[in-house]
Structure 1
Amino acid sequence: MDHSRGAGRVRGTSCFNCNSAIGKLGDDPDSLAQGHRIPGGKRVEANTRSTGRLPAAFLTPGSSSFMDFLSDQSPEMLPGNRSLPPLQGAIEAPHGTTIVAASFPGGVVLAGDRRATMGNMIAQRDIEKVFPADEYSAVGIAGTAGLAVEMVKLFQLELEHFEKVEGAQLSLEGKANRLSTMIRSNLAMAMQGLAVVPLFAGYDVDRDKGRIFSYDVTGGRSEETGYAATGSGSIFARGSMKKLYREDLTQEQALTLVVQALYDAADDDSATGGPDVARRIYPIVTVITDEGFRRLTDQESSEIARSILERRLEQPDGPRAALL
């Protein structure tokens, strides 16, 4: 299925992302060099570093997927192809926790708390877990923080490479499928306790609405209706949104909803961090509409968080939903 968007597409070559590819493939691009034959049968050797030119692999027409290019030319650089030696017991590594998302008629909001934990310790208080994937989508990470951030960077490069080669953006459905494939490639690491379970959200320009996709450790993808959450505090965040979500939310109400959900998650899950007024650390909140991705400023996030904190002084358990 062709998931590219736009009527006109220009078929390019893998050299469009050559600079990024060199950085990913290591210090010896000459090892990827291949020879070419020109009309007449004369063989021309591939460009090498000594000539100051790119190796032939970077100039050969190929797949619009950077992951496919990397798997052909330097498969050992893919995160999923790395393996750990046999270990006993769980691996202690910083883990990101709770990510939430909610849609509204004009788009979708995606937010995450700022805490990373390592066992029963707080590893970091101000980690960033929500990143733009491209102009109209974003991804929030839960699970092993180091692997998750690396996966997000590769995902960003994958989408950028596709757009440069094809001359059109991948559809939102196609982006969700690409991320699913990347998560599945990390299954071996997940079986050793280093799982990555992101939440993907974006504005579908073809359907004119915001959409949310959740995943499991095997790469299984599910489209969520209205709202979703992932991470250690997701069960509490989802319960909060279940009682407060409405289909006719305004953008401002949707932004307040996700921060309320993160507050409720932090209230019951020790691995989820709530607003830290003393350190001025507030949730990362993003919104994606037909105008594209936008991350709220620290001032905007703090205003939402502080308004919730003030109301919680009167109602510590948060807003009450009607019984009938």
Structure 2
Amino acid sequence: MALTMDDVDRFEAAMPRLKAIAYRLLGSASDAEDAVQDTFLRWQAADVSRIEVPEAWLTKVLTNLCLNQLTSARARRETYVGQWLPEPLLAGDPMLGPADTAEQRESVSYAVLTLMERLSPNERVAYVLREAFDYPHRRTAEILDISEASAQQIFHRAKKRLAEGRARAEIDQAAARRIVDEFLAAATSGRTEPLVRLLTDDAVAIGDGGGKVPARAKAFEGARAVATFMRGMFKSGKAQRAIIGGSPEIYAADANNTPALVVVVEGRVIAVMCLEITEDGIAAFRSQVNPDKLERANERWAAADHGEPLLRPF
């Protein structure tokens, strides 16, 4: 049946929520867009007049599409070049979804999206729907075609597994920004010790180049190894400028409710580095440099007022 304008309007009203769900589930804005488009095609092909609760129907269709993608993504990532990291979204991107509660903000943080790779597809769905969108376990059970008790059990298991990967408490935004400033000062000082003091003993640095941009296949682990890497990365030189294609400007930003550094060359974002800052120090640097995963960030960057850089060309 052909959709009426009311049917189209109903779908468009649901799109922001559907995109936010899909992004959290898939960790990719482009994949989320595709999943929502496929959901619309199914909406278009359905007898909409017989659908009693459109929101529930759309959510179930979208979630099943994402489950299929998550299953195939696991196979694709076995052949992915280097480390796989989610696609970062800059502050204000509507695909980040609701951020009214600490749980909602946490569920889309870069650290949690990365950790969610440890979860099974069903665990990921149960966690996202409950924590980010406050879905009752009953509705999650209907979407996954399982019992309510099973949905509740899967959610608690997912939350426990994520908590085990985030043992430290994070600090407030003002304190985090001060540490970002201290980090940049230390990283450009040419000395390792000031950087070591800012890091946790088990700090890690991970980069995702996707085989398109140079990035170390194995993470740097430990404060001294990470500090040495960061000191080298922020060291000026012709060779470095040749690698990145020009002289970089570095801006303080927020990506996925996480303090971040955005590296820009000639107006184009070439890297988004998300910092996991805890009460014990900086625990992780997760740098997205794969250009395929920076397209949406570039669109938002070009349309936004991002102020003055913290660090000018070096």
TM class, shorter-chain normalised?
under 0.3
Q: Kindly name which structure, 1 or 2, has the bigger radius of gyration based on alpha carbons.
A: 1
The structure in which a higher percent of residues are strand is 1
Q: Which has the higher helix share?
A: 2
Q: TM-score, normalised by structure 2?
A: 0.28
